[in-house]
Structure 1
Amino acid sequence: MVTGVHAFVLSERHDAAAGAATRRVYRRAPGDTSAAIPPGLGFTPARRVDQTSGMSPADPAIRTPDQRLRVFVSSTLRELAPERRAVRAAIEQLHLAPVMFELGARPHPPRELYRAYLAQSDIFLGLYGARYGWVAPGDDVSGLEDEYRLAPPELPKLVYVKEDGEREPRLVELLARIKGDDRASYAYFNDADHLAELVRGDLATLLAERFTRATGAPGEPDAGMGGTVELPAALTALVGRERELETVVSLLTDDDVRLVTITGAGGIGKSRLSIEAAGRVRDRFHGGIAFVDLAPVTDPQLVPAAIANALGIRDIGDGTLDEKLRMAVRDRRMLLLLDNLEQVLDAAPAIRSLLTDAPDLTVLATSRILLRLTGEHGVELGPLGMPDLRRGPDVARALAAPSVDLFVERTRAVKPDFELTDENVEDVERICIALDGVPLAIELAAARGRVLTPAQLLERLDERLLELGGGVRDLPERQRTIRSTIEWSTQLLSASEQDLLTRLGLFAGGFTLEAAEWMAEGIPDADILDDLGALVDGSLVRQEDRGDRAVFAMLSTVREYALERLGTRPDAAALRDSHAQYFVRLGAQSRFELEGPGQLGWIERLHEEGDDIRAAMRHLLDTRQWATAAHFAWTLYVYWWVDGHLGEVLGWMREVLDSGDELDDLTRATALYFDRANAFWQDPDDWLVPGLSESAALFRREGERSGEALALISLALALLGAREPDTARADDALEGSVALFREAGDTWGEAMALVTLGRVALLTHDVQAALARFDESLAVARRQRDDLGEAIALHHRGWAEVLLGDLAVARDCFEQSLALSAKLHHDEGVAYGLEGLTAVAAGVGDVERAGMLLGAAQVVRERTGTYNAPSFSFHQQFVDGILAGPDGDALEAARVRGRRLHVDDAVAYAMQRSTADATAPVT
């Protein structure tokens, strides 16, 4: 395939093989092996919002789909790299989420991190070879053993041991203890393939024991409609914020309070407090909680886009995001958590407008300063309570101070045997006072407690803060403290570690180990694993689990510091180019993967990398690298479309066209396509037809068959939408498109063009010809085993049967299409299925059913922003016929009830057969 424009499968939520892990213990002897369619053609895939369950293993059921079981994988890293890859693949094949630390088992400070993830995981998987792992100075066990020790007792444990090789003595001792653990299974493996087979079988056995699919509670109109983003996992305890937490929770539960802003200096703990408070009031907001991290956003005008992205609203250029946002939240009782708002405060009017238009919406924001909006309730977050040195050193009294309590807790995360004693208590108290009780500063200092005593730490800290204080006097006091502490912390790093930290500041969001390796290229004497590990150990970089991928991230305060350092370097421009090129390379790598069986995984990965993909595109445009920008956009076509960003791409490609620079043919063809195809219903005569014709011609000149074929489909749509539709020319364009797709071996494109040809036939009232085209497309989709393509063809086939008067066959087509769309959690496909069945119910006179399905379909469209897109549905004319008659009030009352249905309940209701005779003719 030549372009990235074919398999728009977007959201595969798997209903099979998911359930709570059982407590069954078993043992085994060694060796025993027990078209989808481009913009405007009808179906528009909705972005998947992946939510993990966060359930404890003791819960009676694992909620699935989309709230996937987490499998915590413990192993050494370099020794077992092939086996780790095999285990990850086996876990993902069962559609579970592997929790794998890219740095391997490290005790400092990921100990606190992996304790948090173990608490949120559902299965522990231990993988052991010959190595026991590194034991840090001052520790008595390696990270490998520590992970096993910290695994909750009720967590099912699957243990796999490689047969060959001499084992280190301490690993032999560990394995002996594991063998005696009645809660763990224990198996030997020969190689990576054998291991993968064992893991798949064991996990399948666990999953099959118990399975409950979770749905929202019936009667809650907002639950599950449109999707919201789960709150980030809390990796540490909230210390010393009981009063502020109570205040925020109290405000959020007050019906008269609509806007709460937590303010304070960077590193003071605003985000942590907001997440805790939101979690406490989750049950109050039936419409969900949407978490929006605004740290990567620097343009206030892009704040609505960030909120829309969090809500799963699609931007395909068919209306303003402001309008779609208002529609999505206008009648939902939901909480919008806007984190790191200080850098985009000019977006305050947009937030005020949203609050005005959505009376049941509440906004919780974090910012360094207030938004200054009417009705805003501010909660200022100051430093943690500090000890009083005037009363003399006392361990019990010192621990009562939250700042000391936090220091001790964080120090124990890196040095488990640390204790506050009469000998060190005064040094610890002075450290906390020197750091002004700022939580992030305390955490950075405590991270050095692994190798420095409190006295040594205080001495070095005092010297460094005094030295650095003069350089940052223009900052507020607490901000100066955190800035100086970050600077001090980096001075303890090696040269290569400092260089890496500066480069990693370029990542707008989380980044993978592979991305870090790319940015580390050229650093003298660098060892990426050791250097990145040192940054994690120093709490300057954090390791997270995002969906089923391990990623690294910086707090926004540390990223600000890194970017400051970058700005002083002569190679800053080259490093920004390197960052962009990593994502250009990622786009090229994903181009064909997006069209095959691995599409869903790539869509999820690219969604996770979305902030950096946008940053890369912005850099390419700002530096006028037009050809690279256009190529980048083209390789990611499927991602833009499935994830709902074609509206953004349209704006970028307009910049290319309006640049005034000379463009090569392929760049101009690509930019013209994105600019015109996404607005084919606007002024087709004067603007779209010429532009799409030129795009097709330029693609042809460059030998890009699939590009030309795609442009011809959009050209045909523009011709059909003209003031005087040219069906003959549109038909010729589509026939040419089919031929080109077939020449390119592009079966997805072929199916897409066939559906469009069927629609042209319907426009000319040749229903039988249309039906034949839809059947051809259906056959292609089924050969490819593509559920989304099959759903699209079935939907179109259903309407052809309606026009032929056979409502029974039409109902079958719509039900099959709806079932496939629901299986994929393709929201607009669900809306189409509900609309088709609305027409069937109205056609046979079942007013109650027609109204219920109509209301449910309307809510799905409103929540996902697809209510304004051109569609292929004729249900309204059936509804209008009832509204004009004596049953109009009954239909309207049923429609209101249908709007209160959870989407899953609406699908279940739609799949129940009507008592009416569906064989009645259309009236």
Structure 2
Amino acid sequence: MRFLLLGPMGIDGAETAPAGPRLRALLAYLVLNAGHTVPAERLVDALYGDEPPAGAPGALQSQVSRLRKSVDIEYGPAGYRLVADPEDVDVLRFEQLAREGARAREAGDPGRAAVLLREALGLWRGPALADLTHAPFAAAQSARLEELRAGAVEELAEAELALGGDPSELLPWLREAVAAHPLRERLRGQLMRALRRGGRGAEALAEYETARTLLAEELGTDPSPELAAVHLSILRGEEARTAPASRLPAQLTSFVGRDCELAVLVRLLGSSRLVTLIGTGGTGKTRLALEAAARLPGEVCFVDLSAAPRTALAVRGALGLRDSGAGDPEAALVEALRDRAVLLILDNCEQIVEDAAALTHRLLSHCPGLRVLATSREALGITGESLRPVGPLDTDAAVRLFTDRALAVRPDFEPDDTNSRTVRDICDSLDGLPLAVELAAARLRQLPLAEIADRLDDRFRLLSRGDRTKPERHRTLRAVVEWSWSLLSDEEREFAARLTVFAGGATAEAAGRVCGAGPDAEDLLASLTDKSLVEAGSGRYRMLETIRAYASEQLPSRSRELVGAAHTAYFLELAEAADPELRSADQLRWLERLSAEHANLRASLVRATRDDLPSALRLLTALSSFWWLRGLRADVAPVAAELLGALDGYVPGGMEGVDFDCGFDFGEAYVLCVLAAGAGGAVPGAERARAARIVAERDRPFRQPFTAFLWAISAGPSAGAERPELTGPDPWTRALARAGAGHLHLFHGRVEEAALDLSAALAAFRSLGERWGTATTLAGLAGVSGALGDTEAALACADEALVLFEELGCWEDVADLLRQRAELLRGAGRLAAARADFERALVAARRAGTPAALAAARSSLSSCPAS
């Protein structure tokens, strides 16, 4: 028995259904949930809406009894279930075919995708649920299905364009699709590309102008970057192409030896939502994952978990989500990814496998567009996980890899009949492990091939008689690293061991300062890079984790203490130098520099919390504004909490305001520590009360200008942070105090006073060239102009502030300001433009990933219905 809902309702292919609107609605709802048990309460709500009559449950039983005479309905304590094969339900069949078609296209098989999508769209006979408009559930279900239908049309168009089909065949139905959905920019771009291929470039450009006008009139927005890229490519006479959003590390070497595994993995990622590459260290799991991701369309995000304290924090950082310090970071990730189609690469999961598995399960359960590609030395152990073992290379592939890397260090190396046998012997002796093969090839710069083969043979014979109870990675990969280590000079060994103090890599200048190599650091780093012990890219040097772990063991405890202290001192100096620059015209450059060193800064704070409390407090004080601007407070909150605990009893009572000889104010540092620890959860009342007392009793300005602002955000202006005696003499602090006074005036309805203070603050921030203060003040002035009825002036202020907040990556501020802008537009009667801003606010709130911002954006959007 076949059930039809994609058009007039029908059974067994005939457009007939049970008599009576209620009975037809009941059957339709059961068909939509075919194969699943539906509780009676849900069926009552579906049939009668929010206010069912008193006799609704009894009427439902009667209606089900009538239906069971013609269709198979099972009844149990949990509810009712229509027994039907999903293949016999046109809605379910359509959804399945559409999903498979989209996956086939993403996997690089447009031919199969086109076949599946044509079959899916061929199931439609008219508007979904066309004769069920009276049912309370029909409108939402119909809208959902029509959205899926439009998406399938877009996927089919993309597949047809990839196949290079005749534009004359594509154009008629593309024009029809665009006419039905004039605001869908992807469809419009596909039509433009088809016109361009047919030699009708002028018509393609006209389509863009039509889209631009419609978007401006209906939504108050400009064309998306993707549609603008198609327009630009046509202007340049190029074939239109779109580049998917991607966050993949750039690769510095060619990919050799796993073409078959790569093809299989790409296909698997088209059909499975969770794929885990498993195998011992050094087999190339990470590189294989990156190569597969680079061949897939769509958004990709790479997350390295090798040094991550929590999976959620690492994923949030990789996605660029700003955190306001409140709420569950996992819940924030769910909201940020719920409506996005992303391939998430979780690398080195074995470090925190249980935490990675729990987060992966939660994200996949709530984010239908998400796919995960994990690398680990063990499975995540989640239902539905597809495992792909990554073993050693076969001999031929290992020989190709050795030859490729050998030519990189010895351009005159020429494989021939004589040395090819030696290379094969080396690769076989190394078990075909890619890392071991690359390290062996790197030695060609210093040693003859025959000597490499001889020394490698001796080393493996020694290690083969080692402790058989050790894990395999210590009997194979460790042997390779130890062998490579033995070939380093004494100077190289010492430098490499000291380099392990860095977390997240280092610049040459930082390595030279911390490791004591001075101007020789660049030569040593280049040598270690040539020998594959260090990776280089974007001006930074990073050790592979396996090598870093081995090298760290070679560092004597006394040397580890000295280099650790040097690491802390270097990054404390950097943090204190950067702090005032974050309030200057050079703000963006310093934000990027600190962001690149975030892992090192955090590691320094952890170490100082254990070994050097004054330095820990100085670091925390200097970094407080950076953490706020970059939304990183939740990441450092656990360390701040440990520091707060270590401070218990450190300074006698009554000394909260004293200055230490090392140049910081303990009382202020204590307040900032309480605020930082509070970003990760509740701070004990005693510590919070002590911080409040320090602020209340303070009679001089704070050393860190952000302290007063952060305390006001946490405790409210009534807590005393706005007192004049707390305002420092520097221009930025005075400007912030003036801006704060202006916002307070505006809050209390004193518009003229607010305008005076905010205008003065704006002038001061502009003279400094500082973006955050300028944007915050402009947002206040937008409120002033709105209160005075000058909508255009308010919009101008808001627009300028939005540009600055977006440059800084302050997405929660962007969401708040877009909602403020939308209210201005709504007050001016421009409802379509207002709704567009509310929708943009929701997008920004999702990017911020904070529940509070999302709740506010959704509430605002729901208050502005579509026209």
TM range (shorter): 0.5 to 0.7
State the match for 1:521 in structure 2. 516
CA distance in structure 2 between the partners assigned to 1:218 and 1:472 by the alignment: 63
Query: What amino acid is aligned across from residue 537 of structure 2 in structure 1?
Result: E
String of CA shifts for 1:93-122, please: whole Å, max 9, x gaps. xxxxxxxxxxxxxxxxxxxxxxxxxxxxxx
Is the Cα contact below 8 Å between 2:591 and 2:626 reproduced in 1? Answer: yes
1:324 aligns with 2:332: yes
Q: Which residue of 2 aligns with 1:747?
A: 731
1:759 Cα deviation from its structure 2 partner: 2.4
Aligned to 1:810: 794
Would you say 1:505 and 2:500 are equivalent positions?
yes
Paired with 1:340 and 1:304, the residues of 2 have a C-alpha distance of 14
Question: 2:535 pairs with 528, 537, 542, which one?
Answer: 542
**Amino acid in the other structure paired with 1:216:** E
Are the equivalent residues in 1 in contact too, given 2:335–2:849 (CA < 8 A)?
Answer: yes
> Equivalents in 2 of 1:609, 1:681: separation in Å?
21
Secondary structure of the 1:379 match is strand
| Residue 310 of structure 1 pairs with residue 283 of structure 2 | no
Equivalent residue, structure 2, for 1:671: 670
Task: Report the 3-state secondary structure (helix = DSSP H, G, I; strand = E; otherwise coil) of the residue aligned with 2:476.
Answer: helix
In the TM superposition, residue 460 of structure 1 has moved relative to its aligned partner by 1.1
Q: 1:377 aligns with which of 378, 386, 396?
A: 386
Question: Percent same amino acid among aligned pairs?
Answer: 34
Q: What is the CA–CA distance in structure 2 between the aligned matches of 1:595 and 1:326, rounded to whole Å?
A: 33
Q: Select the residue among 553, 559, 562 that pairs with 1:564.
A: 553
> Deviation at 1:605?
1.6
**1:349-391: CA deviations, max 9, x gaps?**
12211211212111111111111111111111111111xxxxx
Name the aligned partner's letter for residue 383 of structure 2.
T
- Does structure 1 residue 612 correspond to structure 2 residue 628? no
CA distance in 2, matches of 1:342, 1:683: 30
**Could you tell me which residue of structure 1 aligns to residue 401 of structure 2?**
406
Query: Any idea what the Cα deviations from partners look like across 1:283-336, whole Å, max 9, x if unmatched?
Result: 2x3xx2111111222x4xx11111111111223322221121111111111011
Alpha-carbon shift at residue 403 of structure 1 (Å): 0.8
What's 2:662 paired with?
Answer: none
CA contact (8 A) 1:734 1:756 kept: yes
Partner of 2:250, secondary structure, is: coil
Trace 1:376-775 onto structure 2 (pairs within 5 A).
376-386=385-395, 401-471=396-466, 473-477=468-472, 480-521=475-516, 527-545=520-538, 550-566=539-555, 569-623=557-611, 625-659=612-646, 660-663=648-651, 665=656, 666-676=665-675, 690-696=689-695, 700=699, 705-707=702-704, 710-713=706-709, 720=716, 730=720, 733-736=721-724, 740-741=727-728, 744=729, 746-775=730-759
Q: Secondary structure at the match of 1:734?
A: coil
Q: Tell me by how many angstroms 1:869 deviates.
A: 5.6
Determine the structure 2 residue equivalent to 1:158.
Answer: none
- Counterparts of 1:127-146 in structure 2 under 5 Å? none
Aligned to 1:241: 258
Aligned residue in 2 for 1:289: 300
Offset, 1:479: 5.3
Structure 1 residue 251 and structure 2 residue 261: aligned?
A: no
TM-score after normalising by structure 1: 0.62
Shift of 1:817: 2.7
Give distance in 1, aligned partners of 2:282 and 2:331.
35
Greater gyration radius: 2
Q: Give deviations 1:803-822, integer Å, cap 9, x for gaps.
A: 33333432333233334445
Distance in 2, Cα, partners of 1:685 & 1:530: 51
| Counterpart among 778, 781, 784 of residue 762 in structure 2 | 778
Q: Is the 8 A contact 2:675 2:714 kept in 1?
A: no
Corresponding residue for residue 42 of structure 1: none
Aligned-partner Cα distance in 2 for 1:346–1:682:
22
In 2: Cα distance, 1:218 partner to 1:678 partner: 44
Mean Cα displacement is larger for which, 264-273 or 772-781?
Answer: 772-781
Paired with 1:784 and 1:616, the residues of 2 have a C-alpha distance of: 31
1:352 corresponding residue in structure 2: 361
2:247 pairs with 230, 238, 256, which one? Answer: 230
Matched residue type, 1:892: P
User: Aligned pair in 2 of structure 1 residues 843, 269: CA closer, same or farther (>3 Å)?
Assistant: same
- Superposition pairs for residues 99-138 of structure 1, below 5 Å? none
Q: Distance in 1 between matches of 2:387 and 2:854?
A: 43
Q: TM-score, normalised by structure 2?
A: 0.66
Task: For 1:333-344, list aligned pairs within 5 A.
Answer: 333-344=341-352
Quote the offset at 1:794 in angstroms: 1.8
| Structure 1: gaps spanning 5 or more residues | 1-212, 221-226, 387-400, 884-890, 895-923
Instruction: Confirm or deny that 1:264 pairs with 2:279.
Output: yes
Deviates more, 1:465-474 or 1:411-420: 465-474
Counterpart code for 2:650: E
Alignment partner, residue 89 of structure 1: none
**Counterparts of 2:418 and 2:683, CA distance in 1:** 81
- Report the Cα distance in structure 2 between the residues aligned to 1:266 and 1:493, rounded to whole angstroms: 22
State the 1:839 CA deviation: 0.8
Aligned residue type for 1:669: E
Change (3 A) 1:572 1:784: closer
Paired residue type of 1:756 = G
Measure, in 2, the Cα distance between the counterparts of 1:684 and 1:499: 43
Unaligned runs of 5+ in 2: 1-222, 231-243, 657-664
3-state SS of 2:226 partner: coil
Q: Give the partner amino acid of 2:338.
A: R
Q: If each structure's helix is expressed as a fraction of its own residues, which one has the higher value?
A: 2
* Contact 1:325–1:865 (Cα < 8 Å) also in 2: yes
Does the aligned pair in 2 maintain the 1:330–1:359 contact within 8 Å?
A: yes
Q: Which deviations, in whole Å up to 9, do the C-alpha atoms of 1:532-580 show, x marking residues without a partner?
A: 33312211112211xxxx11111111112112323x6443333333322
1:424 aligns to what SS in structure 2? Answer: helix
Task: Flag the 1:875–1:403 CA change in 2: closer, same or farther, 3 A.
Answer: closer
Which of the pair has the greater relative contact order for Cα pairs under 8 Å at 6+ separation? 1
Q: Distance in 2 between matches of 1:632 and 1:380?
A: 44
Deviations 1:454-512 (A, max 9, x none): 22111111112222333454444465222111111111111121111111122221111
**Residue deviations 1:776-834, cap 9 Å, x none?**
21221222233443322121111123233333432333233334445656534433442
Q: In the alignment, is the contact (CA less than 8 A) between 2:350 and 2:378 conserved in 1?
A: yes
Task: Measure the CA separation in 1 of the matches of 2:372 and 2:600.
Answer: 26
Q: Is the 8 A contact 1:818 1:832 kept in 2?
A: no
User: Aligned to 1:365, what secondary structure does the other structure show?
Assistant: strand
User: Contact (CA 8 Å) 1:519, 1:578: kept in 2 or not?
Assistant: yes
